[in-house]
Amino acid sequence: MKRLITLASGQFGDIGLEELCAAAAKMGYEGLELATHAHFDVKRALNDDSYIPFVKETLAKHGLQCQAISAHLTGQCVGDLWDERLDNFAPRELAGKPEAIRAWAVEEMKNTARAAQKCGVKVVNGFTGSPIWARWYSYPQTSEEMIEAGFALIYDLWSPIFDVFDQCGIKFALEVHPSEIAFDYYTAKRLLEKFNYRETLGFNFDPSHLVWQGVSETVFIRKFAKRIYHVHLKDVKLFKNELAGILGSFLPFGDTRRAWNFVSLGHGDTDFDGIIRELNAAGYEGPLSVEWEDSGMDRFFGAAESCEYAKRINFSSSLMAFDEALKKS
């Protein structure tokens, strides 16, 4: 089974598409997961007939493909309760206008599905946002009615978006992640149930957000085997720190006093061998997209090293039992 090894472009949003394609190809990548806030302009894709050919030609010139589009920042604006941080994710003229930001995000997600269809991409990855994330710790007391209202709002906001995804033949892969409506196994299951297991909705599996929470990254795949629509390869390192807890201590990523940090592939505690085995069992044939995040390492060094690591672990299932050759004829 040959799965494409791709690079998520969002962490390289400060450089242009041509430069990123050249760098990614040199590092050994076979494709890019293009982020809408960085290297894939949804508005131009829908309104400029020359734009998608330009993107495809630029990728092809460097031997790269695009099999997924990332719309994480847009999706966050759909379901979140506004605070000033969302102003960084929306058009500048909407800053400080919660209703306008949400309305823009809903339409932009619909247009992202249309742009993906036009580009021949079948999966859009992203976040949903969450109106109840701030209530995860039940003090002051969080009632079941509050939780259900939060899931109901996500259902109401995203159902019309998913209608457009269905019209375009596009799947939405939610990255299960703190600050989203689904951030672990039980909330992911509840979300699928809320949408009556609508085929449109699946997951962008990223183990790094599960491991530091104490959620099994391999069991998650096993439980949702048919709902893994895309995969991020990202590692996380857990530290024995008697002074810091898993909530981060308001210390920035990369600070060595933290109890955990995202690190380059192979430098952390994620069970990638187990992940590949579970993906093989699930029949997953989509891309393995390196989302490179390590505040303690040069990103081009780390991204190149991560590409090599991803290719090394990208093995297929055996077509025979290991002891089959021992059988007597």
Q: What is the CATH number of the domain that holds 188?
A: 3.20.20.150
Count Cα neighbours of 28 within 13 Å in the Cβ-side half-sphere. Answer: 15
Distance CA 171, CA 36 (A): 16
Q: How far is CA 120 from the centre of its chain?
A: 19
Tokens standing for residue 181 = 């409506």
Can you give the pLDDT at residue 38? 96
Q: What DSSP designation does 269 have?
A: S
Residue at 97 is within a domain: yes
Residue at 324 is within a domain: no
Angle between the 98-119 and 72-79 helix axes, to the nearest 10 degrees?
140
Cα-only R_g, the chain:
20
Residue at 326 is within a domain: no
Number of residues written out for the chain: 329
Can you give the pLDDT at residue 296? 95
Closest of 55, 68, 61 to residue 5, by C-alpha: 68
Can you give the pLDDT at residue 1? 60
Residue at 191 is within a domain: yes
Helix or strand holding residue 68 (H, E):
strand 68-70
At 167, phi and psi to the nearest 5?
-60, -30
Query: What is the SS3 assignment for 293?
Result: coil
Buried b (16+ CB within 10 A) or exposed e, 37-52: bbbbbbeebeeeeebb
Please name the amino acid found at residue 16: G
Can you give the pLDDT at residue 324? 73
pTM (predicted TM-score): 0.96
Residue at 323 is within a domain: no
Residue at 322 is within a domain: no
Distance CA 305, CA 157 (A): 40
Domain that holds residue 187: 5-317
Residue at 178 is within a domain: yes
Residue at 106 is within a domain: yes
- The pairing of strands 235-238 and 201-205 is unpaired
At 264, phi and psi to the nearest 5?
-60, 155
What's the total number of domains in the chain?
A: 1
Q: What angle (nearest 5°) sits at the alpha carbon of residue 80, between those of residues 132 and 160?
A: 105
Distance CA 133, CA 181 (A): 7
Distance CA 117, CA 170 (A): 7
State the 10-residue block means of pLDDT for the chain, 329 residues long. 92 97 98 98 98 98 98 98 97 98 98 98 98 96 98 98 98 98 98 98 98 98 98 96 94 96 98 98 98 97 98 88 69
Distances (CA, A) of 144 to 133, 138, 151, 234: 14, 10, 11, 33
Distance CA 211, CA 96 (A): 35
Tokens standing for residue 227 = 């709902």
